[in-house]
A and B are shown apart, each in its own frame.
Chain A
Amino acid sequence: MTDLVDLQAPAPARRTPRSLTLSVGLVLVGLHLFVALLTLFWTPYDPTAMTGGRLEPPSWAHWAGTDRLGRDLFTQIMIGSRIALTVGAGAVAIAAAIGVTLGVLAAFATRTLDDVLAATFDILIAFPTLLLAMLVVAATDTASLFSAILALGIAISAIVARLTRILAKRVLAMDYITAARTAGSSWPSIVFRHVLPNIWPTLSVNFALQFGIAIIAEASLSYLGLGAPPPNASWGRLLQEAQGTVYTAPFGAVAPGIALVSLVIGMNLLADGLRDVGDPTRRRSR
């Protein structure tokens, strides 16, 4: 369908916003990535040191003001970028490893096993991500950055598995798979040469979306005190700490909020832009 549309009209009107989407997404995510890497070597202040008065408004010395202990907020938000990206990447990597494996397995499985797996995915998905993550955190005893990553990874893996299963089944029904099988291809060769490359464009878009979801979920976990413990300055914890003083010092909540939203929007725009990159039939029209 889209093919036809693309063939009939070069549609310059559509081309511009599409590449704009990708660029804006790349800039936003790139900015956060840069900041995250920067914090490994340098931050404006020591994140744990009292460097100013309490709850100072933004100034030249403290771009995002200070928190109730007088620590520099901008420094903490920068470190928050690193934590958000770590959590997003870690959770998506875990979700991809588990989800893609199980999804492909289900697509290839016998009827019964496939039904069982599909039902499991559906039940896991019906569970709210946050609740599932809370259970995993509870099961690992102490809340740590790693337990948050693991929890979100497992929660998201069900979504990835279900999507993978559906996509892989669609590919497996194609003639070129039958053709490969009639010519004597083995299952591993079919998975790696045909199935994965063909579901990758859609999967990668989903990964970028899940990345954004993981970041929000981590912020929620931290907000509830189930995320990375201090001194990890997760945006969720910053938001939670700013809650009590939101009327007197609103910037304490606004600044981490802006950081969170900009990264999630960036990820979503990137996801949209990515849609075209993995697909040669679409690449042509740009």
Chain B
Amino acid sequence: MSLLRIENLTIRTGGQALVKDMSLVIEPGARVGLIGESGSGKSLTALAAIGLLPPGLKPEGSILLDGVQVIGASEEKLKALRGRTAAFVFQEPLTALDPLMKIGRQVAEPIARRHRRDGRSAGRQEIVAEVRHYLERVALPDIDRIMNAYPFQISGGQRQRVAIAMALACRPKLLIADEPTTALDVTTQAEILELLSTLVREEGMALLFISHDLPVVAKVAEEVTVLRRGQVVEQGPVRSVFGSPQHEYTKMLVDAAAAFDRALGAQQ
């Protein structure tokens, strides 16, 4: 059974279709990239996958997440699905963390919730130990300080690591990362990408990686879906899609990336 199977998804607001007839399949453990320019519907697709579209947006088609039909599902059913099946990492690490809550407590929240769901009450000690475990997992230094810090007291890269730790702490089958490195500088970006790839592989999670940046997607994903104005223009293994792009838009993306590489090469 596929972990996520989106078929003929159309998202409408008023008369306008923001996403049109989109299909996407993610197998357990697969790493899939979703690439497209700003406003092409990447985030909406990801939110639709867990039934969290903003009010006023209507999905049509079929979305099977871990075998459950998301479209039309009750909030109760979706809540049970969220977190344990799919967890999110967002673009802007500052706004993705509650500014008034210490890091330790924020990471503890998904852990405590997971234990509650599994029907066992975990003691404070146990949860703190798990918080440390996940903060270590994302290679944060100085964990004692960070656990007691507020989000504004740590760096952007560290915040994104915390956000990843929070997503991991849900132990999801699918990690959805929506442009998780866009707000970071190049070095930090590379570190976070490396971290994500490693973690996903080690924890056996599937990854849906959203970006508008071709080299970034090429780095972490095995398969890629190219989205343009709400429609899939190309889909397949990263090698073949980026190796011999068929659609104009994909060609343009590849050319732009190649031009950048050449410019870099010429400089050295």
Interface, chain A (partner B; CB < 8 A): 3, 110-111, 174-176, 178-186, 193-194, 197-198, 279-281, 284
Assuming the A-B contacts A111-B55, A178-B90, are A280 and B150 also in contact, with contact meaning beta carbons closer than 8 angstroms in the complex?
A: yes
Q: Are B88 and A182 in touch, CB under 8 angstroms? A: yes
Closest Cβ–Cβ distance, residue A207 to chain B (whole Å): 18
Q: Are A175 and B92 in touch, CB under 8 angstroms? A: yes
Q: Are B92 and A181 in touch, CB under 8 angstroms? A: no
Q: Are A179 and B152 in touch, CB under 8 angstroms? A: no
Q: Are B97 and A182 in touch, CB under 8 angstroms? A: no
Q: Are B166 and A179 in touch, CB under 8 angstroms? A: yes
> Please, which residues of chain A bring their CB within 8 A of the CB of B92?
175
Alpha-carbon distance between A176 and B103 when the two chains are bound, in angstroms: 13
Q: Are B101 and A197 in touch, CB under 8 angstroms? A: yes
Q: Which of the 9-residue segments B3-11, B24-32, B75-83, B250-258 touches chain A?
A: B75-83
Assuming the A-B contacts A197-B101, A198-B99, A281-B99, are A181 and B152 also in contact, with contact meaning beta carbons closer than 8 angstroms in the complex?
A: no
Q: Are B150 and A184 in touch, CB under 8 angstroms? A: no
Q: Are A176 and B167 in touch, CB under 8 angstroms? A: no
Among B82, B110, B152, contact of A281 (Cβ-Cβ < 8 Å): B152
Among A110, A175, A281, contact of B90 (Cβ-Cβ < 8 Å): A175
- Near A by CB (< 8 A), chain B positions 32-73 give 47, 50, 52, 55-56
> Please, which residues of chain B bring their CB within 8 A of the CB of A110?
55
Q: Are B98 and A183 in touch, CB under 8 angstroms? A: no
Q: Are A182 and B152 in touch, CB under 8 angstroms? A: no
Assuming the A-B contacts A111-B55, A193-B109, are A182 and B82 also in contact, with contact meaning beta carbons closer than 8 angstroms in the complex?
A: yes
Alpha-carbon distance between A281 and B83 when the two chains are bound, in angstroms: 29
> Please, which residues of chain A bring their CB within 8 A of the CB of B110?
183
Q: Are A194 and B83 in touch, CB under 8 angstroms? A: no
Q: Are A183 and B170 in touch, CB under 8 angstroms? A: yes
B224 at the interface (CB under 8 A from A): no
B86 at the interface (CB under 8 A from A): yes
Q: Are A179 and B113 in touch, CB under 8 angstroms? A: no
Assuming the A-B contacts A182-B52, A182-B83, are A176 and B95 also in contact, with contact meaning beta carbons closer than 8 angstroms in the complex?
A: yes
> Please, which residues of chain A bring their CB within 8 A of the CB of B47?
178
> Please, which residues of chain A bring their CB within 8 A of the CB of B97?
176
Assuming the A-B contacts A280-B150, A281-B152, are A183 and B101 also in contact, with contact meaning beta carbons closer than 8 angstroms in the complex?
A: no
Alpha-carbon distance between A226 and B263 when the two chains are bound, in angstroms: 81
> Please, which residues of chain B bring their CB within 8 A of the CB of A181?
52, 82
> Please, which residues of chain A bring their CB within 8 A of the CB of B113?
183-185
B100 at the interface (CB under 8 A from A): yes
Q: Are A198 and B100 in touch, CB under 8 angstroms? A: yes
B163 at the interface (CB under 8 A from A): yes
Closest Cβ–Cβ distance, residue B115 to chain A (whole Å): 13
Given contacts A174-B95, A178-B88, A183-B166, 15 further A-B contacts (CB under 8 A): A175-B90, A178-B52, A181-B82, A182-B83, A183-B83, A183-B88, A183-B167, A184-B82, A184-B84, A184-B117, A186-B79, A193-B98, A197-B100, A279-B100, A280-B150
> Please, which residues of chain A bring their CB within 8 A of the CB of B167?
183
> Please, which residues of chain B bring their CB within 8 A of the CB of A197?
98, 100-101
Residue of B nearest to A186 (CB): B79
Alpha-carbon distance between A111 and B55 when the two chains are bound, in angstroms: 9
Residue of B nearest to A279 (CB): B100
Alpha-carbon distance between A179 and B150 when the two chains are bound, in angstroms: 17
Alpha-carbon distance between A174 and B163 when the two chains are bound, in angstroms: 14
> Please, which residues of chain A bring their CB within 8 A of the CB of B83?
182-184
Assuming the A-B contacts A178-B88, A193-B109, are A184 and B79 also in contact, with contact meaning beta carbons closer than 8 angstroms in the complex?
A: yes
> Please, which residues of chain B bring their CB within 8 A of the CB of A174?
95
Assuming the A-B contacts A176-B98, A281-B99, are A183 and B52 also in contact, with contact meaning beta carbons closer than 8 angstroms in the complex?
A: no
13 pairs, A vs B, C-beta closer than 8 Å: A175-B90, A175-B95, A176-B95, A179-B88, A179-B166, A183-B83, A183-B110, A184-B79, A184-B170, A198-B99, A198-B100, A279-B100, A284-B153
B96 at the interface (CB under 8 A from A): yes
Alpha-carbon distance between A183 and B81 when the two chains are bound, in angstroms: 9
Closest Cβ–Cβ distance, residue A209 to chain B (whole Å): 21
Contact indicator per residue, chain B 87-131, by CB within 8 Å of chain A (1) or not (0): 110111001111111000000011001000100000000000000
> Please, which residues of chain A bring their CB within 8 A of the CB of B101?
193-194, 197
> Please, which residues of chain B bring their CB within 8 A of the CB of A193?
98, 101, 109
Closest Cβ–Cβ distance, residue A279 to chain B (whole Å): 8
Closest Cβ–Cβ distance, residue A2 to chain B (whole Å): 12
> Please, which residues of chain B bring their CB within 8 A of the CB of A111?
55-56
Contact indicator per residue, chain B 154-194, by CB within 8 Å of chain A (1) or not (0): 00000000010011001000001000000000000000000
Closest Cβ–Cβ distance, residue A205 to chain B (whole Å): 15
Q: Are B82 and A175 in touch, CB under 8 angstroms? A: no
Alpha-carbon distance between A274 and B110 when the two chains are bound, in angstroms: 32
> Please, which residues of chain A bring their CB within 8 A of the CB of B80?
184
